[in-house]
Amino acid sequence: MRDASSARRRTRTAAAVGVASAVTVALAFALWPSTGNPRPMEGPALPGPSRSALEVPKPEPLRDKNVSLWSFVRRATTARRTPSRAGAAVARLATTTPEGTANTLLVLGRARDTAGRVWVRARLPVLPNGTTGWVPRRALGGYRSVHTRLVVNLRRRRATLLRNGRPLMRAGIGVGLDQSPTPRGRFYIRNKLVRYRSGFYGPLAFGTSARSAVLTDWPGGGFIGIHGTNQPELLPGRVSHGCIRMRNADIVRLGRLMPVGTPMEVL
């Protein structure tokens, strides 16, 4: 009897403890919010993330297969044969062209000298045609890039503008006479002249880094240009003093498509 009575007491005690614990836990949960301590990750539902105004494109690697860089002379300097202050002088470079525009250079490479100074190898607008030299980086302005290239075929008397390696425009051209030939080689577009009054040069002209090897005393230094004409009936043909002539409609179109700094190859 005693054993049965004591077992009932233990059962009642255990039940009472259980009930008390449950009440305590329930009270704790009920009182928790009122104490300012919200349960972690629970509570009222929050709105979802707002939709972004941006359509995010996939980051793409740089595709530079057909890119050329150019810069301009910010401070008059001397181009040298080697990337060193001790290198032999190749040419003195002014900040402006005879046309009053920035003196642009086609960038071909770079190197550092023993003192850590950066030098830029550039194609130069000097005779003999095709001359390159090393210019102190600090004498140049910022780099700019173009994706275009102009190929001039003297035999076919045709110019082709390419963008990213693909032909964009073709035009028949006039080229230099036998006594004043258009120079062959690698050059670049230096500047663009517009809104002048000259039927002979047409509505627009590009200056190039090419120079006539025979008309060296020509005003401005005998630079070869690409320009329009008032004698379109002569094109294509050998008609010029070395310049590349185009029909006016073609030069206007080229003016829209070809940026300054474009490399030019005369074959």
Partner 1 sequence: MTMEGFCFRKLDVDGALAEAVDRAGAITRGSFLAGALGVSAAAAVADEAVAQDGKLGKVDQGILNYALTLEYLQAAFYTEAERMKAIKGDVRKAARKLGSVERAHVKAFQDVLGRNAVGRPTFDFQGVTEKPRPFLKTAVAFEDLAVAAYGGQAANLKAASAVAAAVSIYSVEARHAAWMRYLFGLNPAAKAFDQPKTKSQITQIVRSTNFIAAPPKTKRKRAPSFTG
The one catalytic residue among 227, 245, 246, 247: 227
Q: How far is the CB of 182 from partner 1 (least distance, A)?
A: 9
Q: How far is the CB of 25 from partner 1 (least distance, A)?
A: 36
**149 versus 190: smaller Cβ distance to partner 1:** 190
Least CB distance to partner 1 at residue 32 (A): 28
Query: Nearer Cβ to partner 1, position 171 or 251?
Result: 251
Residue 221, Cα to own-chain centre: how many angstroms?
Answer: 30
Least Cα distance to 213 among 129, 155, 154, 97 occurs for 129
| Alpha-carbon span 206 to 166, nearest angstrom | 21
Which residues would be at the binding site for partner 1 (CB under 8 A)? 49-62, 64, 67, 69, 72, 98-102, 104, 110, 112, 116-118, 137-138, 141-145, 180, 190-198, 200-201, 205, 207, 212, 215, 218-220, 222-225, 227, 240-243, 260-261
CB of 230 to partner 1, least distance (A): 11
> In the annotation, is 147 catalytic?
no
Of the residues 69, 90, 124, 243, only one is catalytic, namely 243
**Would you call 243 a catalytic residue per the annotation?**
yes
The nearer residue to partner 1, 39 or 65, going by C-beta atoms, is 65
Q: Are strands 118-123 and 104-112 parallel, antiparallel or unpaired?
A: antiparallel
- In this structure, are residues 65 and 149 in contact, taking their beta carbons and an 8 Å threshold? no
Please report how close the Cβ of residue 33 comes to partner 1 at its closest, in angstroms: 28
Per the listing, tokens 């008390």 go with 20
Burial pattern 190-213, b for ≥16 Cβ within 10 A else e, equals: bbbbeeeeeeebbbbbbbbbbbbe
Beta carbon nearer to partner 1, 205 or 264: 205
Residues near 115 by Cβ (< 8 Å), separated by ≥ 6? none
Measured from the CB atom, is 30 or 56 closer to partner 1?
56
Look at residue 30 and give its three-state secondary structure: helix
Alpha carbon distances (Å) from 226 to 205, 208, 209, 232? 6, 8, 11, 14
**Integer CA distances (angstroms), 180 to 118, 137, 141, 175, 184, in order:** 39, 36, 35, 9, 12
Catalytic sites, residue numbers:
227, 243
